[in-house]
Structure 1
Amino acid sequence: MSLDSLSGRIERKYIEMMRSKGIDLNDLILMSDSELSKELGVDREVAREILREVSSLLLRPLTADKLLEEESRLRTGIEGLDELLGGGLRIRTITGIYGPPASGKTQFCIYMTVRSLLNEERGGISSERAVFIDTEGTFDPGRASAFLRQNGLSERDLSRIDVLRVNNIIQLKEALEIAMSYVRSGTSKLICLDSISYPFRQYGGLKGLRERQEDLQEVLVSLRRIADRGSVVIMTMHAIKWGRDLYSKGGFVLSHTPHNMLCFRKVRGKVIVTLEDSSYLPPGQAAFIVRDDGIIGL
């Protein structure tokens, strides 16, 4: 259905305003009245009425068996880790990964970006392109090439990975808009953000705490919208120091917005992965090693 389905339910001028802003029905399902009010420049009561009509038009129950049919997964191909994740990273979910520097987070993120390009028979999700949002300048095409070879792909497939290098909050928000356009068009089924916390370094001390948390909440809401919008897997990285937990790094919203939260730590050359929190999986552990020729499960 299109915005024209709202004809007769709301004033035509609001339909045209939304069309000019690039807002469609799927966007409206995920928007709050305050967000729609701000986007259109209208009173919140007008925004509420629009959203009420959208809900009346679109809100229908979906049986659990239909949801089960849609539960495709991006397999890691790593022995033990796929079992820990219930078969792999599920579409329409956000997986947060945190740990100290040099614990394997970025390597794993690049590896899974490559894996998303594989077809379903080989454990991938047939993503035409993959989006890697790089806030720390850590994306290494050389490592991507090694992971491509490990997974039976060629260096030509590097052209299917789109890297967005961002340096601040404004650029990060714009990058998420670009990522959303990929998902809308069906071009990309994986988005990796490495790291989500680094752009927020511009806020220092308690003085900027409120603004930081508001911006962080906006970014996380955008990620949830992208995840809910279509068949996409989202991964976010967070670097912390030993002795600090994830809550102290980004508060409640950063530690509880993802559907799954994985902790990475390196012990004697092995990357120990702990599933600390999940909305649908029990806790547990797995391990892998990073070699020149790829990532190998233990």
Structure 2
Amino acid sequence: MGSVILWIPFIITSGIENCCSRQPPWFNGLELLEDAKQNKHVLPSGCEGIDILLEGGFRIGQLTEIVGPSSSGKTQMCLRSALGVADMNLGSVFFLDTCNSFSSNRIASMINQHTATSVEEDGETRVKRIMSRILCQSVYDIFELLDILRQLENRLSYQEKSNGNSIRLLIIDSIATLVAPILGSKNSQGRMLTISTGILLKRIANDYNLSVLVTNQMVGGQRGHLKPALGESWKSIPHVQLLLSRDKGSTICGISILKHTTIGSGRTGKFVIHN
């Protein structure tokens, strides 16, 4: 435990110095408007009900958080989103798996249920095309996540210069698995590291025109009411926060908007998942 406490200030200090040395240029309103028109579009969620609710899907340049209790459909939603983006040739998907939730077999099964983008493409070719665009890496702690994200920044910067087929969707399932342990301490360094991670994710989303999708569990709060696991330190980080719910044994999931940059909170919708 002592080694963790010694490393945290170093990483936070390095991150702050790095941010200061990479201060972005100022943009006027016209430049921001042009960037929004050209780059800040939406990515399909892979579920029609969600896309209708979100007026198109997940916004590029933003961090979306999916909150929900166990078995509410969070991972299924992530897998469907990865499939949707890869199938429509919108770019690659980078799936960071923190709790062994990624299943290539489940995605392959979903492909057979998902409407094909080309009637001329046979099933085997389609599976290969989609799966080759979904990159997956296991992550076991917050420090490993930060290292991977910095490597990702370097990769995205290179792809941007070479006009390569860039990553358009970054998924972390689940962010709470990595962050919750460092928030359990009374030491404020855990909260600082949590905020630094969130800021880094938002910067990557904005600078490289991709959408970040993370999942978060629910835990017991006051009077037994469930609340997002990451608490107040994380609350202000996501641009969009969605709450999932599902009755036991049902294939129909409920989704409601807790927070959104352009859509009023409280709107609800439904979508179907296949086990």
- Give TM-score scaled by structure 1 length: 0.72
Q: Which runs of 5+ in 2 are unaligned?
A: 1-12, 117-122, 161-165
Counterparts in 2 of 1:39 and 1:276: CA distance versus 1, 3 Å: closer
Structure 2 counterpart of 1:234: 212
Structure 2 counterpart of 1:165: 138
User: CA contact under 8 A between 2:64 and 2:213: conserved in structure 1?
Assistant: yes
User: CA contact under 8 A between 2:179 and 2:230: conserved in structure 1?
Assistant: no
SS of 2:30's partner is coil
Could you tell me how far 1:205 is from its partner in structure 2? 4.2
Counterparts in 2 of 1:107 and 1:181: CA distance versus 1, 3 Å: farther
Amino acid paired to 1:190: L
Q: Distance in 2 between matches of 1:65 and 1:134?
A: 35
Of 87, 111, 127, 1:155 maps to 127
Q: Please give the residue correspondences for 1:127-142 in structure 2 after superposition, counting only pairs within 5 Å.
A: 127=91, 129-142=92-105
User: CA contact under 8 A between 1:99 and 1:241: conserved in structure 2?
Assistant: no
Counterparts in 2 of 1:204 and 1:263: CA distance versus 1, 3 Å: closer
Of 96, 101, 108, 2:70 maps to 101
SS of 1:80's partner is helix
Counterparts in 2 of 1:106 and 1:207: CA distance versus 1, 3 Å: same
User: CA contact under 8 A between 2:85 and 2:93: conserved in structure 1?
Assistant: yes
Counterparts in 2 of 1:68 and 1:265: CA distance versus 1, 3 Å: same
Q: Distance in 1 between matches of 2:183 and 2:192?
A: 14
Structure 2 counterpart of 1:3: none
Structure 1 counterpart of 2:151: 178
Q: Please give the residue correspondences for 1:279-298 in structure 2 after superposition, counting only pairs within 5 Å.
A: 279-283=261-265, 284-292=267-275
SS of 1:245's partner is strand
Q: Distance in 1 between matches of 2:239 and 2:115?
A: 27
Counterparts in 2 of 1:148 and 1:231: CA distance versus 1, 3 Å: farther
Q: Which runs of 5+ in 1 are unaligned?
A: 1-33, 120-124, 293-298
Could you tell me how far 1:261 is from its partner in structure 2? 0.4
SS of 2:96's partner is strand
Residue 81 (structure 1) aligned with residue 59 (structure 2): no
Structure 2 counterpart of 1:7: none
Q: Which moved more, 1:103-112 or 1:61-70?
A: 61-70
Of 176, 198, 203, 2:182 maps to 203
Q: Distance in 2 between matches of 1:204 and 1:60?
A: 38
Could you tell me how far 1:134 is from its partner in structure 2? 0.6
Amino acid paired to 1:233: S
Q: Please give the residue correspondences for 1:1-298 in structure 2 after superposition, counting only pairs within 5 Å.
A: 38-39=17-18, 51=23, 55=25, 59-62=27-30, 65-66=33-34, 67-119=36-88, 126-127=90-91, 129-149=92-112, 150-152=114-116, 154-156=126-128, 157-184=130-157, 185-186=159-160, 187-203=166-182, 205-208=184-187, 210-241=188-219, 243-246=225-228, 249-267=229-247, 269=250, 270-283=252-265, 284-292=267-275
Per-residue displacement from partner, 1:102-142 (whole Å, max 9, x unpaired)?
A: 110001001101111133xxxxx611x21000111110111
Could you tell me how far 1:236 is from its partner in structure 2? 0.5
User: CA contact under 8 A between 1:183 and 1:232: conserved in structure 2?
Assistant: no
Q: Which moved more, 1:227-236 or 1:155-164?
A: 155-164
Question: Aligned-residue CA RMSD in angstroms?
Answer: 2.6
Counterparts in 2 of 1:279 and 1:212: CA distance versus 1, 3 Å: same
Could you tell me how far 1:77 is from its partner in structure 2? 4.6
SS of 1:241's partner is strand
User: CA contact under 8 A between 1:220 and 1:257: conserved in structure 2?
Assistant: yes
Amino acid paired to 1:207: K
Q: Distance in 1 between matches of 2:194 and 2:183?
A: 14
Per-residue displacement from partner, 1:250-285 (whole Å, max 9, x unpaired)?
A: 233422211110001112512110111111112311
Could you tell me how far 1:79 is from its partner in structure 2? 3.2
Counterparts in 2 of 1:244 and 1:77: CA distance versus 1, 3 Å: closer
Could you tell me how far 1:83 is from its partner in structure 2? 2.0
Counterparts in 2 of 1:252 and 1:151: CA distance versus 1, 3 Å: farther
Whichever of the two has the greater Rg, that structure is 1
Could you tell me how far 1:161 is from its partner in structure 2? 1.3
Q: Figure out how many residues of one structure are paired with residues of the other and give that number.
A: 239
User: CA contact under 8 A between 1:115 and 1:151: conserved in structure 2?
Assistant: no
